[in-house]
Structure 1
Amino acid sequence: MESAALLSLRFNPEADLLAATRECEADVFLRAYGNTRQQLQDEYGPYDDASVFIALTNDSGDVLGACRLIRPTELGLKSLDDAARPPWSLDVARSVRAARLDPMQTWDVATLGCRRGLKGPGKLAGAALFHALVQVVRANQIRSAVMIIDERVRALLASAGMTGHTLPGAQPSRYLGSAASTPVYRHCDEAFDQQRITNPEAHRLFTQGIGLDGIRVPPLAEFRFVERSTVDAGSALAVGASV
């Protein structure tokens, strides 16, 4: 799909690009976990007004990778809401206190995925999306992050020094097509510091963005969330199983 041309990261896309980002998200998670569009709508429709996306695009406007974040609003964070339901049925208020989380300074990394068969700069799609996440954290002064992550993906991230702590009381369980997913959290500054010590090479790529050759990373200010005056009318398509 992509050529050797420059790829670009885009935060909080609108209109056609937003629709294409949601389509990429839906395609990736249908392939990975068998989630149908109706299932995605049922799961994420209630959180759509709090959702914001990151897209990785090529010069033709194709979206090669997508990430959905859920901001702290009165709608709540889906990962915490789901942790309170089966299969975990946690006392989330107690788990949040034990984890030292402030829900109003915590964002939910709801989905992250890339299309298959990418070549050239596209091979760095996953690293680019994670670097964009770091930039969003910095630009919006996000203290902590939560997610429900597939254990296979969690192991891959751990090998790159990107570890998450299990939400107190949780354990791996079946969730939205994943054979084993776990609610996790991480305080962002601590995570960056740990990765710098345990895996300096990965820290340069994922956290500092050094080595993302052929991928345009916008200035930090472009990763700052700005509330829009109009609500996008597009349908919400996503899945909260994992990254």
Structure 2
Amino acid sequence: MDSAALLSLRFDPEADLLEAARDCEAEVFLRAYGNTRQQLADEYGPYEPASVFIALADDSGDVLGACRLIRPTSLGLKTLDDAARPPWSLDVARAARAARLDLSQTWDVATLGCRRGLKGAGKLASAALFHGLVLAVRANEIRSAVMIIDERVRLLLAAAGMTGRPLPGAQPARYLGSPASTPVYRHCDEAFDQQRITNPDAHRLFTYGIGLDGIRVPPLAEFRYVERVPGSAQPVGAGQRVGAGQVVGVPA
């Protein structure tokens, strides 16, 4: 990527930019876990109508990093659906109650990853995606998040003051090419408060975007999800909000 290219965060991209985000997701997960495009289609296909992407794109439309979110709908959340099956076989309803999850306001951080070899502002791609995730949380009044996260990545996030709590009863296990992943949850306000205390520098970067030099961050309102008329780019209604796991190349 051209280090001089203007980079921008985009929430819920469409058309070519959406396909570029999917291409980025596919490249990251093939590299990290050997997941093919067909595997991704099999895993996430049932959740496509509820999937929303955050993309970090340059001014030519290339996507350097992408995050897939799954909204709470009748389709369910993939993290919880997978946690109910082997290798975990959790009683998910009971685990959700124990974790105090309001599933109407819980979103699934399904995938998050960045391409390799990024230069210039692109080196901040992961931080930019996390900042975009924070803005999506605020704009959509998301109370909690769930994800299935590789334990290596979980340790890296813990160093940045971002930790997830295992769903009650969950232990690390092999999952979609990851040697050890865990279904986790976190209440968003608690996570932000903890990071502010344990890693103030990361908190300023992730939560407020301070230090994301060379990256355009849209206003908060642009991170609010609106449902589009099927087959159209037009939203159902201006400002209508509908509803209401993984990280840095972690399958969810």
TM-score category by the smaller chain?
over 0.9
Query: How many residues were matched structurally?
Result: 238
Q: Give me the whole-angstrom Cα distance separating, in 2, the residues matched to 1:4 and 1:121.
A: 8
Which residue in 2 is equivalent to 1:85? 85
Which residue in 1 is equivalent to 2:223? 223
Q: Confirm or deny that 1:9 pairs with 2:18.
A: no
User: Which structure is richer in relative contact order (CA contacts within 8 A, separation 6 or more)?
Assistant: 1
Q: Report how far residue 4 of structure 1 moved.
A: 2.0
Mapping of residues 161-172 of structure 1, within 5 Å = 161-172=161-172
Q: Report how far residue 12 of structure 1 moved.
A: 0.2
Q: Deviations over 1:59-90 (max 9, x none)?
A: 11110000000000000000000000000000
* Aligned alpha-carbon RMSD (Å): 1.5
Q: Give me the whole-angstrom Cα distance separating, in 2, the residues matched to 1:36 and 1:231.
A: 28
Which residue in 1 is equivalent to 2:201? 201
**Aligned partner letter, 1:157:** L
Q: Deviations over 1:117-161 (max 9, x none)?
A: 000000000000000000000000000000000000100000000
| 8 Å contact kept, 1:106–1:145 | yes
Which residue in 2 is equivalent to 1:63? 63
Which residue in 2 is equivalent to 1:42? 42
| 5+ long unaligned stretches in structure 1 | 233-237
| 8 Å contact kept, 1:165–1:186 | yes
Q: Give me the whole-angstrom Cα distance separating, in 2, the residues matched to 1:2 and 1:174.
A: 37
**Aligned partner letter, 1:108:** D
Q: Which shows bigger deviation, 219-228 or 4-13? A: 4-13
Q: Give me the whole-angstrom Cα distance separating, in 2, the residues matched to 1:85 and 1:174.
A: 13
Mapping of residues 28-177 of structure 1, within 5 Å = 28-177=28-177
Q: Give me the whole-angstrom Cα distance separating, in 2, the residues matched to 1:111 and 1:199.
A: 24
Q: Give me the whole-angstrom Cα distance separating, in 2, the residues matched to 1:61 and 1:51.
A: 20
**Aligned partner letter, 1:120:** G
Q: Report how far residue 37 of structure 1 moved.
A: 1.0
Q: Report how far residue 231 of structure 1 moved.
A: 4.7
Which residue in 2 is equivalent to 1:242? 251
Q: Report the TM-score, using the length of structure 2 for normalisation.
A: 0.92
SS of the residue corresponding to residue 230 of structure 2 reads: coil
Q: Give me the whole-angstrom Cα distance separating, in 2, the residues matched to 1:157 and 1:231.
A: 38
Q: Report how far residue 241 of structure 1 moved.
A: 4.7
Q: Give me the whole-angstrom Cα distance separating, in 2, the residues matched to 1:145 and 1:22.
A: 21
| 5+ long unaligned stretches in structure 2 | 233-245
Q: Give me the whole-angstrom Cα distance separating, in 1, the residues matched to 2:231 and 2:182.
A: 32
Percent of paired sites with the same residue: 83
**Aligned partner letter, 1:220:** L
Q: Report the TM-score, using the length of structure 1 for normalisation.
A: 0.95
Return structure 1 stretches of 4+ with deviation > 4 angstroms: 238-241
| 8 Å contact kept, 1:176–1:241 | no
Q: Give me the whole-angstrom Cα distance separating, in 2, the residues matched to 1:241 and 1:158.
A: 15
Q: Give me the whole-angstrom Cα distance separating, in 2, the residues matched to 1:39 and 1:26.
A: 10
Which residue in 1 is equivalent to 2:187? 187
Q: Report how far residue 3 of structure 1 moved.
A: 2.3
Q: Give me the whole-angstrom Cα distance separating, in 2, the residues matched to 1:241 and 1:214.
A: 26
Q: Give me the whole-angstrom Cα distance separating, in 2, the residues matched to 1:217 and 1:24.
A: 20
